[in-house]
Amino acid sequence: MVENWKKFLMPYEQAVSELKIKLRGMRKQYQQNNEHAPIEFVTGRVKPIDSIKEKMQRRYITEDLLEQDMQDIAGLRIMCQFVEDIHEIVGLLHQRTDMKIVEERDYVSNVKPSGYRSYHIVIEYPVQLISGEKLILAEIQIRTMSMNFWATIEHSLNYKYQGEFPETLKARLKRAAEASFMLDKEMSEIREEIQEAQQLFSYGKWQNALEKATENDSEGETPD
């Protein structure tokens, strides 16, 4: 077993920190251009040691193959407003030269039997250490906020039932997944109106801030 977990996980922690900054930077670039940002927000984590050990045992992963066979020790999640945003983000990631995509799993088009939807990308990412460059694997999950809500609930229930859901609960989860996706489809139908309203709202906030700043400057002026 790994003798020093803190040392082993350090490159993964660095990768998650760097990737969060880079992905959030993509969102800022869209905002600065006054364009709809396909990225709503980004989260990331390094898998807890107990979870790594449990998965090693469940998947029969040996220590010497841990870095190769466990692709989600470093995990990031990109949340979107619309299903169309998912495919735009996938395209953006393919264009990047600071990471290499090694695997893709499209659970948006190929829904899991449980109803789970998400787009998973496994990347090879170079981390710069004082000892030199180290290539590590990281998993990026891209999903709408609606998909994420369903997946979070399903994940919590999975802990309770250890994957053995009662048939009635399984059926209700499946119906909830379909209802969630119907919401995404409806939002896609009125996407242009939503984006226009959001831009107007953002512009209005900017105008109010500018007017307030101007008023404060005027109040601070002293008459001749």
How confident is the model at residue 223, as a pLDDT? Answer: 47
Q: What is the pLDDT of residues 59-80, one digit of tens each?
A: 999 999 999 999 999 999 999 9
Q: Which segments in the chain show pLDDT lower than 70?
A: 198, 201-224
Strand residues in 47-147 grouped as ranges (E): 74-80, 100-106, 119-129, 132-144
Q: What is the pLDDT of residues 12-22, one digit of tens each?
A: 999 999 999 99
By CB neighbour count within 10 A (0-12 exposed, 13-18 middle, 19+ buried), where does 128 fall? Answer: exposed
Is the domain defined by 5-198 classed in CATH 1.20.1340.10? no
Starting at the edge strand that comes first in sequence, how are the strands of the sheet with 41-46 ordered? 41-46, 74-80, 132-144, 119-129, 100-106
Q: Give the C-alpha separation, 109 to 22, whole Å.
A: 27
pTM of structure: 0.83
Residues 6+ apart with CB under 8 A from 55: 47, 61, 70
> Any idea what DSSP says for residue 99?
S
By CB neighbour count within 10 A (0-12 exposed, 13-18 middle, 19+ buried), where does 111 fall? Answer: middle
Q: What is the DSSP string of 53-80?
A: HHHHHHHT--GGGHHHH-TTSEEEEEEE
For the annotated catalytic residues, the residue numbers are: 139
Amino acid 193 reads: E
How confident is the model at residue 189, as a pLDDT? Answer: 85
How confident is the model at residue 2, as a pLDDT? Answer: 82
